[in-house]
């Protein structure tokens, strides 16, 4: 796998063996002196070949860890990534604790943002909206597996057609934000396996933000926050879109790598 450009290939090999065998990495260490059955060796070599072809590890394992939750992950939506956890943290900081509130996750994908919010705050209910029926099915599967189905509704449709803006207390979104011209240069795990419509943000990467900001400004109640995940170089441009639309109280935060990752603002009085 090293020749395929995989970082930390030995670590990934151990994890792939855990996937192939159904054992924990601790169990594998304990059994390290034992011979590997031929059938297990065949399974292991097959999934190593998939990873060497740059299929995401999460797709092979069919699971991704996010905000302490184990989520199903496959080609139907973006792989949940640790960078997005700071988006959840920012949203939680904007929601008063202990108070019932309704959130909406626009472009919910795997449902990771919505699930993390609802799992952390039991007083929250929410809607996950995605234009892709495949992504919506995956999000629905995840919230049901996590026991959140009674507090989460997953809808298939475009945010341009959604009519519930006046009924929510927070909007959160990780919209498509990759400049269309740069998609071909992304890592193969992303370029070949993540859905294109979840990546392509148009000519300048801002098309989805423009739509959501316009719709939110027209539909949200005063004081309701909107929280966006952004690309590392988009803080000023997305914040500018929100300020120009009349949102107030703009803020931002960075991910663990020190990159700008979140911007937020509040609906102003009409």
Give Cα 16 to chain centroid, integer Å: 23
Is residue 120 annotated as involved in ligand binding?
Answer: no
What would the two tokens of residue 234 be?
Answer: 């988009």
Length of the chain equals 270
User: Which residues contact residue 165 at a Cβ distance below 8 angstroms, ignoring those fewer than 6 apart?
Assistant: 215, 216, 218, 219, 220
Is residue 162 annotated as involved in ligand binding?
Answer: no
| DSSP H stretches of helix in 83-230 | 85-94, 112-120, 133-145, 188-191, 207-219
Is residue 107 annotated as involved in ligand binding?
Answer: yes
Is residue 130 annotated as involved in ligand binding?
Answer: yes
Is residue 177 annotated as involved in ligand binding?
Answer: yes
User: At 102, which helix (H) or strand (E)?
Assistant: strand 101-106
Say how far apart CA 117 and CA 198 lie, in whole Å. 21
Is residue 175 annotated as involved in ligand binding?
Answer: yes
Is residue 96 annotated as involved in ligand binding?
Answer: no
Is residue 122 annotated as involved in ligand binding?
Answer: no
Is residue 260 annotated as involved in ligand binding?
Answer: no
User: Measured between alpha carbons, how far is residue 92 from residues 20, 81, 135, 226, 227 in Å?
Assistant: 37, 18, 24, 12, 10
Is residue 110 annotated as involved in ligand binding?
Answer: yes
Is residue 147 annotated as involved in ligand binding?
Answer: no
Say if CB 16 and CB 62 are below 8 A apart. Answer: no
Residue ranges for the known binding site for substrate are 174-177
Residue ranges for the known binding site are 107-111, 130, 159, 174-177
Residue ranges for the known binding site for S-adenosyl-L-methionine are 107-111, 130, 159, 174
């Amino acid at each position: 796998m090293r020749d395929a450009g995989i970082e930390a290939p030995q670590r990934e090999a151990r994890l792939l063996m855990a996937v192939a065998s159904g054992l924990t990495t601790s169990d594998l260490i304990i059994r390290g002196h034992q011979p590997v059955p031929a059938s297990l060796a065949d399974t292991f070599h097959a999934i190593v070949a998939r990873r060497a072809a740059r299929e995401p590890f999460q797709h092979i394992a069919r699971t991704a860890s996010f905000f302490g939750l184990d989520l199903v992950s496959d080609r139907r939506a973006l792989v949940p990534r640790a960078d997005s956890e700071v988006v959840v943290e920012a949203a939680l900081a904007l929601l008063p604790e202990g108070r019932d509130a309704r959130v909406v996750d626009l472009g919910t994908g795997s449902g990771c943002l919505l699930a993390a919010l609802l799992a952390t705050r039991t007083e929250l209910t929410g809607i996950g909206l995605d234009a892709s029926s495949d992504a919506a099915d995956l999000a629905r599967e995840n919230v049901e597996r996590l026991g959140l189905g009674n507090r989460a509704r997953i809808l298939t449709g475009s945010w341009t057609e959604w009519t519930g803006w006046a009924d929510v207390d927070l909007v959160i979104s990780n919209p498509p934000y990759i400049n269309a011209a740069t998609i071909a240069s992304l890592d193969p795990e992303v370029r070949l396996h993540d859905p294109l419509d979840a990546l392509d943000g148009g000519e300048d990467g801002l098309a989805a933000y423009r739509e959501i900001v316009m719709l939110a400004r027209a539909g949200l109640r005063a004081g309701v926050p909107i929280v966006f995940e952004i690309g590392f170089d988009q803080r000023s441009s997305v914040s500018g879109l929100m300020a120009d639309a009349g949102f107030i109280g703009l803020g931002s935060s960075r991910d663990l790598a020190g990159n700008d990752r979140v911007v937020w603002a509040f609906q102003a009085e009409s």
